[in-house]
């Protein structure tokens, strides 16, 4: 079970356009750094920095093959999160019954103080 801090940290580490793209690609399969260079419009050192961050948080790992580092996904929650983000949600959640518009409603439940 992830603590509150761990949950926040996990999201924080994913929450960057380059890292989301990296993770999306890794859900499709193993990729090495020069593969990422082909579609990420950032410098190679910057790619390495993002990969290091992800690895330091146990989200990805790599193995060496010659001079290539083959990165792959480790954390099983990642594909699920990415899938949620890509899904379309046409509806907002239902607003609570007690009327944003008429301003008349009572607060649901008991309040103290």
Binding residues for a second copy, rule: CB under 8 A, are 1-2, 4-5, 7-12, 14-17, 19-21, 29-30, 32, 34-35, 61-66, 68, 70, 72-77, 80-81, 84-89, 91-93, 95-96, 98-113
Site for DNA in 6-25 (CB under 7 A): 12, 15-16, 18
Nearest distance in Å: CB 103, a second copy? 6
Nearest residue to 70 via CA among 19, 20, 36: 36
Residue 50 touches DNA, criterion: CB under 7 A: yes
86 by DSSP, 3-state: which?
Answer: helix
Nearest residue to 45 via CA among 53, 29, 74, 28:
53
Which residue's structure tokens are 């309040």? 111
The closest of 54, 35, 53 to 44, measured between CA atoms, is: 35
Q: With respect to a second copy, which residue has the nearer C-beta, 45 or 76? A: 76
- Contacts with DNA: how many residues (CB under 7 A)? 28
């Amino acid at each position: 079970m992830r603590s509150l801090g761990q949950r926040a940290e996990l999201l924080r580490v994913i929450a960057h356009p380059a890292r989301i793209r990296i993770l999306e690609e890794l859900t499709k399969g193993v990729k090495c750094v020069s593969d990422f260079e082909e579609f990420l419009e950032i410098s190679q050192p910057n790619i390495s920095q993002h990969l290091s961050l992800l690895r330091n948080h146990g989200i990805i790992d790599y193995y060496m093959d010659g001079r290539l580092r083959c990165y792959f996904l480790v954390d099983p929650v990642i594909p699920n999160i990415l899938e949620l983000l890509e899904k379309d949600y046409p509806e907002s959640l239902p607003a609570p019954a007690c009327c944003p518009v008429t301003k008349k409603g009572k607060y649901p439940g008991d309040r103290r103080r």
